Amino acid sequence: MTKKDLCGLIEQLGYINTPAYFYHTHEIDSQIKSLRRLLTDRFRLYYSVKANPNPALVSYIYQAADGVEVASEGELYLALQAKVKPCNILFIGPGKKKEEIRFAIERRIKAIVAESWEELLLIQSVSKQVDVYTSVALRINPAAKNIPGRLKMGGGASPFGIDEELIPEIIAGIQALDHIRLIGLQVYLGTQVLDEAQLVGNFAMIGKLAMGVNAMHTLEFIDFGGGFGIPYYKNDRDLDLHRASRDMHTLLAGWKSQKVLEHCEWIAESGRFIVAESGILLTRVLYKKKSRGSIYVVLDGGSNIHAAAAGIGRFARHNFPVTAIQQVASDEMENVQIVGPLCTPTDVIVQDAMLPVLRKGDYVVIQKSGAYGMTSSPVHFLGHALPGEWLLGEGGAYSVIRKKGEREDHYKFYR
């Protein structure tokens, strides 16, 4: 959101109980349309719930997507509450518990994506107990080591997926499991890919791998993963969607002419790309102090509700883009350290930033916060209230989708 948009938002809503997350549906729609153009109508688009599991967002995104990918019983329950059809849900993750597997089996979801032989045996056992034939897919960890992306999730030794060289043995073993039906393949190589040639190269690699597996066992679907990146930091560049689309169309045209896997349903996943740009975290300045030559601006929200902005879990720390909203406009600038309200030195949101002079009651807006925000953060640390969450629609429509401090547990189960 531009500074003008933010000022207009604050003016229309009046006093806002901060901290609060805001998500704009226009940005979500725009990102989904961009992915549709890139992937063509050959692919079905699945939303990765882990990126932002707010039920209202999941429900909204599902109206424009084709399905969802979940990674726990909690996310599966949430997806069902958001009216996602079970036949459009994939369940991934390397550590599924017996209870989670049973929950998924009983709901008859599209497929459980198995990541080990031991998991396949557990799925077989539970399926036999409830007398259900369960559809499964295999997540494959490719042998290739030159996997692009900031966060690699394939190649080399990995907790994710079954090593490629074991696949013939695994497929042969599945034939002896009488309550399992192998229907699909899933590969997720890495996330935050900002190089379009690498992105399309990943799809090409997965397609080749899938052809080999399909020669051993006829597949009904292939999940190519995703990895579509967005620029967060100063030296990041946007993924060139025009070039990526051109290269993807060339790849797909070649596959079509060779009738490659034409009988299969193709799936691509996205979480961060769909929601990150749509979200902001709105915080308010509580205090301002000087300490031995440094100026500290203390906010009412910090790493407890936005760990990613604080750089928690990263080797190198970079600033998220931030916008200052002053109550009294001024062109004067100063170098500041922006911190949260926690009593820990890791609660630093922005380091050494030149911003307009801030005073108590002014706002600091953390941009690109729609993905991996609150639910990827230690929200219970020190007992601060959870932030509110708002959905911004077209025509200036606003709706609260979580009140500040509300602790309703969307992941609670009643069996």
**Comparing C-alpha atoms, which of 8, 4, 84 is closest to residue 398?**
8
Alpha carbons 402 and 399: distance in angstroms, whole number: 9
CATH number of 3-21+277-402: 2.40.37.10
For the chain, what percent of residues have pLDDT higher than 90?
80
Alpha carbons 130 and 102: distance in angstroms, whole number: 8
pLDDT value at residue 1? 78
DSSP state of 193: B
Cβ–Cβ contacts within 10 Å for residue 352, how many?
10
pLDDT value at residue 235? 83
pLDDT value at 202 more than 60: yes
pLDDT value at residue 414? 46
Fold: same for 3-21+277-402 and 85-269: no
Element at 128 (helix H, strand E): helix 117-130
pLDDT value at residue 233? 87
CATH number of 85-269: 3.20.20.10
- The helix/strand/coil state of 111 is strand
Residues 6+ apart with CB under 8 A from 109: 76, 86, 87, 89, 90, 91
Beta strands in 192-247 (DSSP E): 221-223
Alpha carbons 348 and 338: distance in angstroms, whole number: 6
pLDDT tens for each residue of 377-410 = 999 999 999 999 999 987 667 888 888 888 756 5
Paired with 363 in beta bridges are: 284, 325
pLDDT value at 133 more than 80: yes
pLDDT value at residue 280? 96
**Parallel, antiparallel, or unpaired: how do β-strands 43-48 and 265-270 relate?**
parallel
Q: How far apart are the first and last CA of the chain?
A: 42
pLDDT value at residue 146? 61
pLDDT value at residue 11? 84
pLDDT value at 155 more than 60: no
Cβ–Cβ contacts within 10 Å for residue 313, how many?
9
Alpha carbons 265 and 39: distance in angstroms, whole number: 13
Q: What is the mean pLDDT of the chain?
A: 91
DSSP state of 213: H
pLDDT value at 41 more than 50: yes
DSSP state of 328: S
For the chain, what percent of residues have pLDDT higher than 70?
94
pLDDT value at 195 more than 80: yes
pLDDT value at 43 more than 50: yes
Alpha carbons 103 and 415: distance in angstroms, whole number: 10
* Residue matched to tokens 């006829």: 218
**Parallel, antiparallel, or unpaired: how do β-strands 180-186 and 134-141 relate?**
parallel
pLDDT value at residue 181? 97
pLDDT value at 80 more than 90: yes
Pull the structure tokens for residue 405: 């401090």
Q: How confident is the model over 28-44, as a mean pLDDT?
A: 96
345 preceded by a cis bond (ω within 30 of 0):
no
Cβ–Cβ contacts within 10 Å for residue 45, how many?
19
Alpha carbons 180 and 133: distance in angstroms, whole number: 6
For CA atoms 124, 130, 132, 136, give the dihedral sign: negative
- The helix/strand/coil state of 22 is strand
Q: How confident is residue 415, by pLDDT bands cut at 50, 70 and 90? A: very low
pLDDT tens for each residue of 205-255 = 999 999 999 999 999 999 999 999 999 988 888 899 999 999 999 999 999
pLDDT value at residue 13? 84
Return the domain boundaries, the chain.
Answer: 3-21+277-402, 85-269
Beta strands in 172-331 (DSSP E): 180-186, 190-191, 221-223, 265-270, 279-291, 294-299, 322-325
Residues 6+ apart with CB under 8 A from 49: 58, 68, 69, 70, 71, 75, 78, 79, 271
Q: How confident is the model over 33-53, as a mean pLDDT?
A: 96
The mean-pLDDT minimum among 139-143, 313-317, 352-356, 403-407 falls in 313-317
- Whether pTM > 0.85 for this model: the answer is yes
pLDDT value at 149 more than 50: no
pLDDT value at 20 more than 60: yes
For CA atoms 55, 58, 64, 65, give the dihedral sign: negative
- The answer to whether the beta carbons of residues 363 and 10 sit under 8 Å apart is yes
What is the residue type of 89?
A: I
pLDDT value at residue 154? 54
Q: How confident is the model over 156-170, as a mean pLDDT?
A: 88
